[in-house]
């Protein structure tokens, strides 16, 4: 095999990953849990070739160098080591996610890369090992190997830190709506934001305890298919993650004015009887968690504020798949 194409969907964490304990192995401080989304994905082609004199990365038709290329090369090097291939690679990726806007584009990108690169190299990795490989590119990518509701075990080392599906085909009407408030590149990358928080936020030890408890609670809520409980846990967990950022030194936030407006709108909607909850990642965009039956009421309330074009509804999505191999 010399080339392969894979498709991976992004995921949004309901219990967040926000801190590493080993940045080389990309081992997280805590477990986390996410929902893979149908609407946002990346298609990535990897080709190993004796003709190339360096690794090449092209995202949405644009050549990428610097940090972006370095992260990709980290994953390629592991694949070369595992497969004994000594060739450079061309990586071409088409993103169906607004880049670096807190819609977790790195999750789909590195999950697709892990599958495409390992397949192009002729490796037949089990999904658990693909999940570990994706992790070396970006933490959240660990979970995008699987569809639906997915848990990432922090583990004790490289071998034990991988994702596992909790419910690959979500059999209850859980839905998510992204409110696109700002699709510009974010100022503080998640990598730097979480590192700064681990180093300077005095709330960090409390966060680790919160996550442990939230993981137990949300798994029970999923078992009961209780969307309100899932939403409540996710919203509280997201606010606590963002509180870490405010309490860092110097403090910072990913929220902008529109983020706060969206948070208030969702809280007001819930107070007036429509159950919905929010979560935010390393960017200003807000994701709404609700029961599919309430979609039109939520759309009707949010459209005048943010515009119909900025509300993107997504169902739970599938895991990473191979589209082509030559």
Q: Does 146 bind ligand DP6 (CB under 6 A)?
A: no
Give me the least distance between CB of 313 and ligand DP6, in Å please.
Answer: 20
Residue 32: which of 182, 162, 194, 178 has the closest Cα? 162
Could you tell me how many residues of this chain bind ligand DP6 (CB under 6 A)?
15
Distances (CA, A) of 114 to 22, 206, 210, 211: 20, 33, 31, 27
Output 18 or 146, the one with its CB closest to ligand DP6: 18
Q: Does 41 bind ligand DP6 (CB under 6 A)?
A: no
**What are residue 230's phi and psi, to 5 degrees?**
-60, -45
**What are residue 105's phi and psi, to 5 degrees?**
-65, -25
Minimal CB distance to ligand DP6: which residue? 139
Percentages (nearest 5) of helix, strand, coil residues in the chain:
40, 25, 35
Residue 287's CB is within 10 A of a number of other CB atoms, namely 26
Binding region for ligand DP6 (CB under 6 A) out of 81-89, 114-122, 135-143, 290-298? 135-143
Output 122 or 251, the one with its CB closest to ligand DP6: 251
Binder to ligand DP6 among 140, 201, 245, 279 (CB under 6 A)? 140
Binder to ligand DP6 among 139, 284, 316, 319 (CB under 6 A)? 139
Q: What is the bridge-based pairing of β-strands 88-95 and 56-59?
A: parallel
Q: Does 263 bind ligand DP6 (CB under 6 A)?
A: no
Give me the least distance between CB of 318 and ligand DP6, in Å please.
Answer: 18
Residue with tokens 């590195």: 110
Output 85 or 282, the one with its CB closest to ligand DP6: 282
Q: Does 88 bind ligand DP6 (CB under 6 A)?
A: no
Q: Does 281 bind ligand DP6 (CB under 6 A)?
A: yes
Binder to ligand DP6 among 38, 83, 183, 191 (CB under 6 A)? 191
CA distance 244 to 310: 28
Site string for ligand DP6, 103-122 (x = CB under 6 A): -x-x----------------
Q: Does 282 bind ligand DP6 (CB under 6 A)?
A: yes
Q: Does 32 bind ligand DP6 (CB under 6 A)?
A: yes
Q: What is the dihedral of CA 275, 281, 286, 292, to 10 degrees?
A: -40
Residue 66's CB is within 10 A of a number of other CB atoms, namely 8
DSSP 7: E
Q: Does 218 bind ligand DP6 (CB under 6 A)?
A: no
Q: Does residue 212 have a cis peptide bond before it, meaning omega lies within 30 degrees of 0?
A: no
Q: Does 95 bind ligand DP6 (CB under 6 A)?
A: no
Binder to ligand DP6 among 13, 109, 197, 233 (CB under 6 A)? 13
Confirm if 295 and 303 have CB atoms less than 8 A apart.
Answer: no
Confirm if 13 and 107 have CB atoms less than 8 A apart.
Answer: no
Output 100 or 269, the one with its CB closest to ligand DP6: 100
The H or E element spanning position 299 is: helix 295-306
- Residues contributing to the site for ligand DP6 (CB under 6 A): 13, 16-18, 26, 32, 104, 106, 138-140, 190-191, 281-282
């Amino acid at each position: 095999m010399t080339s392969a194409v894979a498709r991976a969907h992004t995921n949004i964490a309901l219990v967040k990953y926000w801190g590493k304990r080993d940045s080389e192995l990309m081992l997280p401080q805590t477990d986390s849990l996410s929902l893979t989304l149908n609407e946002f994905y990346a298609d990535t082609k990897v080709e190993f070739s004796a003709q190339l004199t360096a690794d090449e990365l092209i995202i949405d038709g644009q050549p990428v160098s610097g940090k972006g290329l370095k992260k990709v090369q980290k994953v390629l090097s592991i694949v070369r080591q595992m497969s004994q291939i000594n060739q450079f690679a061309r990586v071409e990726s088409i993103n169906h996610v607004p880049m670096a806007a807190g819609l977790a584009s790195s999750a789909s990108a590195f999950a697709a890369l892990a599958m495409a690169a390992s397949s192009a190299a002729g490796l037949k990795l089990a999904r658990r090992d693909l999940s570990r490989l994706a992790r070396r590119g970006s933490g959240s990518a660990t979970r995008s190997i699987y569809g639906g509701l997915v848990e990432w075990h922090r583990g004790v080392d490289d071998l034990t830190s991988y994702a596992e599906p909790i419910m690959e085909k979500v059999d209850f009407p859980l839905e998510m709506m992204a409110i696109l408030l700002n699709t510009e590149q974010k100022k503080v990358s998640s990598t730097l934001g979480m590192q700064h928080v681990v180093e300077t936020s005095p709330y960090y030890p409390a966060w680790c305890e919160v996550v442990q408890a939230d993981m137990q609670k949300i798994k029970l809520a999923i078992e009961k298919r209780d969307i309100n409980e899932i939403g409540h846990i996710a919203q509280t967990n997201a606010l606590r993650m963002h509180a870490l950022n405010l309490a860092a030194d110097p403090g910072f936030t990913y929220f902008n004015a529109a983020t706060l407006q969206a948070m208030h709108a969702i809280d007001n909607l819930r107070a007036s009887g429509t159950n919905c909850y929010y979560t935010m990642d390393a960017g200003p965009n807000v994701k709404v968690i609700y029961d599919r039956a309430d979609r039109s009421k939520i759309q009707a309330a949010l459209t005048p504020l943010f515009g119909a074009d900025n509300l993107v509804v997504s169902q739970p999505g599938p895991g990473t798949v191979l589209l082509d191999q030559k």
